């Protein structure tokens, strides 16, 4: 992995569909954006923030998630997520993440949905696959 500068970032977004809601998992739950889907969107932003620094055969994977889901949003709303590289300890990259929607009623223009940190590690896929084929974890 090439050196990743502090502040490297990526942004991603998606429009909430029924498949992203609590109702999709259980009919009695409200049709609001689920925490797992918010975290998935944040993880995708993390992946893209680190991707330009990969060497051939490398990917980055999540190792720890510390996220608060702070507000609800419903079907049809566009959700944004951003990941910013905050620190590196020699093995793990700590990414500051946040998710939001545009909210013209708020003076900032945004409604915060969630925030926190996600840790990532780099995996060399061919090496990993070779280990798993040999019965090693």
Query: Which one is catalytic: 69, 80, 110, 124?
Result: 69
- Is 35 catalytic? The answer is yes
Query: Which one is catalytic: 14, 23, 24, 35?
Result: 35
Residues placed in the known binding site for substrate: 62, 120
CB 74 within 8 A of CB 111: no
Residues placed in the known binding site: 62, 120
Residues placed in the known binding site for CoA: 62
Q: What are the residues whose beta carbons fall under 8 Å from the beta carbon of 131, sequence distance 6 or more? A: 137
For the chain, state the CA radius of gyration.
17
Query: Which one is catalytic: 21, 43, 73, 101?
Result: 43
The residues assigned a catalytic role are: 35, 43, 69
């Amino acid at each position: 992995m090439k050196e990743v500068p502090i502040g490297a970032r990526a942004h991603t977004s998606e429009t909430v569909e029924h498949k992203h809601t609590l109702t999709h998992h259980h009919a009695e739950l409200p049709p609001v954006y689920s925490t797992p889907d918010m975290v998935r969107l944040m993880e995708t932003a993390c992946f893209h923030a680190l991707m330009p620094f990969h060497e051939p055969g490398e990917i980055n994977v999540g190792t720890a998630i510390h996220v608060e889901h702070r507000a609800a949003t419903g079907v049809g709303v566009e959700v944004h997520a951003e990941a910013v590289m905050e620190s590196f300890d020699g093995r793990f990259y700590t990414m500051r993440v946040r998710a939001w929607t545009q909210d013209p009623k708020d003076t900032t223009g945004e409604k915060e949905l969630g925030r926190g940190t996600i840790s990532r590690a780099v995996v060399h896929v061919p090496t990993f696959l070779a280990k798993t084929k040999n019965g090693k974890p």
